[in-house]
Structures are given as C-alpha cells and as structure tokens.
Amino acid sequence: MEIVSGFVSFTVSKVLQLSRISQHKNAQATKKMEEKALEVYDVIRTIRDPEKPNTLEELDVVSEKCVEVEDLGDEEYLIIIRFTPTVPHCSLATLIGLCLRVKLQRCLPFKHKLEIYISEGAHSTEEDINKQINDKERVAAAMENPNLREIVEQCVTEPDD
C-alpha cells in the first residue's frame, strides 16, 4: 500500500511539474505574440489618412487592440489587422487598407502572412472591401496606377523629424 501511495505521490508531483512547465511555455508564447503585435502596431500607427493631416492612430482608425499575431511556426507569423474607418461610408477605406498592406510589407523584419479587414459592422461595403484588400492581384494592379501609388507613398512615408 505504501509503495502505491508513494508512486501516486511521485506521479502527481511529476504531472504538476510538467503542467507548470507547460504554463510557463504558454506564457512565454503569449508574451512573444503580444510583442510582435506591438511591433506591427508601431509600424501602422504613423500611416497618414489620405484626406486629413492626421495619422490613423490619431483618428482611431487603428489601435493596439486591432492587431492580432499568430505563430505559424518556422519563424513565420500570421498578422490580422481589423481597422475601423472614421465613417461607415468612407470612400477611402480601400485605400487605407492598401496603405496598411504596403507599409507592413516594406517594414516588417520577419516572415509573415497578412490579412487586413474592416472591423465588423464598421463600413457599409466591408465585405467587398475586405476581398479587395486581401486579393494579391488587385493590390498589385492598384500599385501599378501612378496616381494611386503616389497617394499611398504620401500616406506611408514617415515625415522628416
């Protein structure tokens, strides 16, 4: 009986030890994803609005909570951005999505896949816009338009200090 009790005690001790190790690893992974999300947010917060002299952060179009990062393995991450246009009929929502995509593709120092969406219920044509800003061919075609490319450049270029 004492042997069984000792074995049970040993087993429970090992299970608890492994559980603490697992919790520690999960906490480390969560912290790493939060740090990546802040790194992404730091890149997008300074993008300028196409119509106003303000940044997307100043207009509350983007915030820290709009960025989600998931680990895909092999040092690659899935970045999901959900931005909120200033008005539900914003005619420049697609352009803002394009600016987000261009700036992140240029500035992120790690491998990533990017999904950009309008926050649910924040725009009258969010479904159509979501399709446009996540379609590689449409994005490439848009960036071939010199006028559009110039506007994007003005929005994503950091102002001189």
Specify the DSSP class assigned to residue 148: H
φ, ψ dihedrals at 64, nearest 5°? -60, -35
* Domain positions in the chain: 12-156
For range 30-45, the mean pLDDT? 93
In this predicted structure, the answer to whether residue 1 has a pLDDT above a threshold of 70 is no
> Given this model, what pLDDT does residue 21 score?
65
Q: Is the pTM of this model over 0.85?
A: no
Q: How far apart are CA 131 and CA 133, in angstroms?
A: 6
Q: Which CATH class is domain 12-156?
A: alpha beta
Q: State both tokens at 82.
A: 């959900």
Query: What are the CA-CA distances from residue 160 to residues 39, 58, 151, 152, 157 (Å)?
Result: 21, 18, 17, 17, 9
Q: Residue written as tokens 């002299």?
A: 53
Q: What is the CA radius of gyration of the chain?
A: 22
Residue 22: pLDDT over 70: no
Q: Is residue 75 within 8 Å of 113, Cβ to Cβ?
A: no
Q: What is the mean pLDDT of residues 69-85?
A: 94
